[in-house]
């Protein structure tokens, strides 16, 4: 498995709509290896999600995982060892349907936009329909941070980034300044959310 180079905003692949994968492509050794490399890359950069366009592959494929020990997992689902979190999940050709009009603002960051955070409104609850790494369909209902991560990664598959969803660009901050002046020394995960 390899750590892959992350495409930053400005590279055309980050702003292009990605193409769907067929079930046969999903099961191919190349895509299976890509999924494993994406997982390793996500861990290396301490992310909780990664979309294929972020690693220079214009495919409707994303991975996500929020360990139960991660402060951002407080709104996640119960984990196998008692904590909360989101297990490692592969999303292929995902479709997101909001479950109601309620939105919640939270801090987000992005591996393709390093060192910055901004307040982003997201649907509070959603239904995700996708294919797993074997090409089998599944459906998940998510809320809170889990729903935020899904929406963030699915945006990448359409060529969008969190900056496009911000209501007020004046909240855009470098991480250090966010902690020093906005959060007052709190960690983002204590009361705020980011990816």
Tell me whether residue 2 is exposed, middle or buried, using C-beta atoms within 10 angstroms of its C-beta: 0 to 12, 13 to 18, 19 or more: exposed
Annotation marks residue 153 as catalytic = yes
Residue 2 placed within a domain:
no
Q: Which CATH number does the domain housing residue 181 bear?
A: 3.90.45.10
Answer yes or no: is 7 within a domain. no
Catalytic, out of 65, 153, 188, 195? 153
Structural domain count, the chain: 1
Q: What is the pLDDT of residues 27-80, one digit of tens each?
A: 999 999 999 999 999 999 999 999 999 999 999 999 999 987 777 655 444 433
Per-position b or e across 5-15, b if 16+ CB within 10 A of its CB: ebbeeeeebbb
Report pTM. Answer: 0.89
Residue with tokens 């007052």, as numbered in its chain: 184
Per-residue DSSP letter, 82: S
Q: Which domain holds residue 74?
A: 12-191
Q: Is 43 part of a structural domain of the chain?
A: yes
In a domain, residue 1? The reply is no
What is the Cα–Cα distance from 61 to 194, expressed in whole angstroms? 21
């Amino acid at each position: 498995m390899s750590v892959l180079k992350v495409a930053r905003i400005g590279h055309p692949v980050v702003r292009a709509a990605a193409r769907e994968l067929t079930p046969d492509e999903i099961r191919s050794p190349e895509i299976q290896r890509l999924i494993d490399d994406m997982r390793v890359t996500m861990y290396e950069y301490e992310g909780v999600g990664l979309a294929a366009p972020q690693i220079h592959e214009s495919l409707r494929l994303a991975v996500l995982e929020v360990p139960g020990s991660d402060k951002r997992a407080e709104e996640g689902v119960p984990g196998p060892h008692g904590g909360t979190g989101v297990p490692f999940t592969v999303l292929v050709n995902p479709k997101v349907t909001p479950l109601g009009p309620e939105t919640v603002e939270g801090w987000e960051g992005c591996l393709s936009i390093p060192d910055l955070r901004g307040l982003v409104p997201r649907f509070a609850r959603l239904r995700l329909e996708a294919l797993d790494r074997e090409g089998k369909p599944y459906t998940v209902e998510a809320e809170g941070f889990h729903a935020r991560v899904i929406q963030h990664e699915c945006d990448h598959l359409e060529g969008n980034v969190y900056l496009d969803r911000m209501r007020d660009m004046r909240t855009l901050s470098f991480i250090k300044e966010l902690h020093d002046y906005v959060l007052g020394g709190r960690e983002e995960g204590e009361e705020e959310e980011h990816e």
